Each structure stands twice: as C-alpha cells, then as structure tokens.
Homo-oligomer: A and B are copies of this chain.
Amino acid sequence: MICSNPCFTVGIFLFLSVPNPSIMTDFKVTILGNGSAVPTGHQNPSSQIVKMADMQLMIDCGEGTQMQMIKYSVKHRNLNHIFISHLHGDHYFGIFGLISTFHLFGRDTPLNIYAPAELKELIEHQLRISKTTLRFPLNFHPLEEVGNMPLFVHKNFTATIFPLFHRIPTWGIKISMKDEELRIDKGFVESFNPTIEQILKIKKGEDFTSEKGIVFKNEEITLPPKPALSYAYCSDTAFNESLIQHLKNANLLYHEATFDNTMEEMAIDKQHSTSEQAARLAKQSKVGRLLLGHYSARFEDLSALLAQAQTIFPNTLLSEEGKSYEIGS
C-alpha cells in the first residue's frame, strides 16, 4: 500500500536528538572585535568566529584576538582555519600571539591560514627571530592563488573569496551551507516513529516500509532540502555594485560602516563605506539581514549609523562584541 498524506508539516526539532553533526547543523558568527584601525576602550579590532557544525573559521585576527577568545569562551579546539582579509594591522596583528599560544599549548593539529602571501614571510620572520620551531604544521594558502576555488573542503560547507575595493589587496568571503538533505515530514515521524537508521535512509532518498508492510514513497514523506544558508563578510571596502554578484541572497551580510553619511567623501578617499552605502549594497544584493561593523573610533554613539542604514535597509543590526548571530534566523 502506498500512503500519500500531503498535510504533514516539517518540524526541525525532530532532528535535535539525532547525534549526527550533519543533521544538527550549527551555523553562526560570533563577533570578537568590530572596531577599525585605532582601538578604543570599548572596541577591539576586527575578528570573528564562524561556527559551522563541527568546524570553526576565524575571520581576521586583530591585536588582542586571543584575549577576546578567552573573554568570550571561544575554544581552540576545532579552530583549524583562519582567513585574513588583508594586511592592514587591525586585521592581522593578533595572528603572531595566537600562533605562539597554540605552540605553547602543545597543539599538533595543522593550522590553515588563508591570507595575502606576504603574511607568510612575516610569520616566518617572526618565528625565526624568536628561534621558534612550531610544534604543529602551519599550512599557508596565499589568497592570490585561491582564485574562485573553495577555500576548504567540508561536507556541509563551502567558502569562496572575492576581491574588495580597498587601498591594498583585500578579499571578502562568502560561506555557504550545503544542505542537501531531504527534510522528513513531522506528521509521518510522529505516526510511524522510524528509527535513526531509517531516518538517515529516508533523508538520502529511500522509501520507507512500516511494520505492517505499508510502503511510503520517499517523495510523499519528505520535503525538498532547505535553501542553502550563506554568510558574507566585507571589510574593508569602498562601495561598489560589482559586489552584488557575490553577496546575492546571503542570509546575513557583515559589512563595514566605518563612516556615517556626512563623511562620504572621506569614505571614497579612504576606500571605506558609509553605513548608508552598506545598506544600499545589502538591499541591492537582496540579503536577509545586514550586520554593521568596523566602526570608526570617532563614534561614541552608533545609533546614527544604524538609523541611516535602516532608512535604506530596515533589517539592519549593529554588530556587538561578544554576541553571536545565527546565519539562518
């Protein structure tokens, strides 16, 4: 007998008790620093951690990042990938201390650094003068050579980079979750209580046969995979519409808002963005939410930046240090 009941609805909570990382997909970003070139008493320079299921990617590593990791309980475990967008100090001065701490803690798992090629020489220079031979393999991936290739191989995630528009070579990054699993109908699960093994088979496209011999065709008890979630990061960059192709439909976009609307000329001169420009790009790229950051030290109060952006793109937030943002919310 073939059962077809189209009224089943999907409940993601069903999967929470299933001990399979590819099902319990965690995808969020935690802000460790969102200031710009000059630190303030309340803003650390750029760094954030993107949590992707069982993996962590650090994006940028300004001075003090390792202290911020302690402050916000970011563990070293599963942090095997660091992306450095460009070689202005507020985006990489913390890498030396972090590498040193990994070494002193006896790390032996490889660390992958994706950064402009010159950083490799500088790290090697620093290690040489402190007479340090690292206890772990440091795999350096020059961004110039990465091109359009995915940064790393992961069964659920992929990350690609694209050029930004700044005074020195600078890259943005987009991380996408490859959600290729079928979603099982909640009502079906409640009615027939399949085992974990049966759930995994159904999610891979198999039919289901109940204890009474009823055969459920796969397409009748599943919904298509959720659209892939994606997160994009743009810091530092001038406004440029050619970025739309890379940011299109991202669920969450972190974009610099170094200046406010009264400082557009300075933004052009320094090749940074105003909050309104960030919002225009978010709107044109049809992203889900916009997260502002890379605030200039001159702003004591960031509410004007937010208001200016929300005029153009209401779904804008001010990024807050120590706070985590789900990509899919």
Contacts and interface: CB of A to CB of B under 8 A. Distances in A.
A104 B39 CA distance: 11
Copies in the complex: 2
A93 B87 contact: no
Nearest to A42: B70
15 contacts: A37-B100, A38-B105, A39-B101, A41-B71, A44-B67, A63-B63, A63-B67, A63-B93, A64-B64, A89-B97, A89-B100, A89-B126, A118-B129, A119-B129, A131-B168
A109 interface: no
Nearest to A99: B89
B70 A104 contact: no
A193 interface: no
Nearest to A119: B129
A80 B38 CA distance: 19
Q: Which 7 A-B pairs have the closest CB atoms?
A: A118-B129, A63-B97, A64-B64, A89-B100, A41-B70, A93-B97, A93-B96
Contact of A39 (B67, B93, B121): B67
Interface residues of A, number: 37
A130 B97 contact: no
A125 B38 CA distance: 21
B129 A125 contact: no
Contacts of A168: 130-131
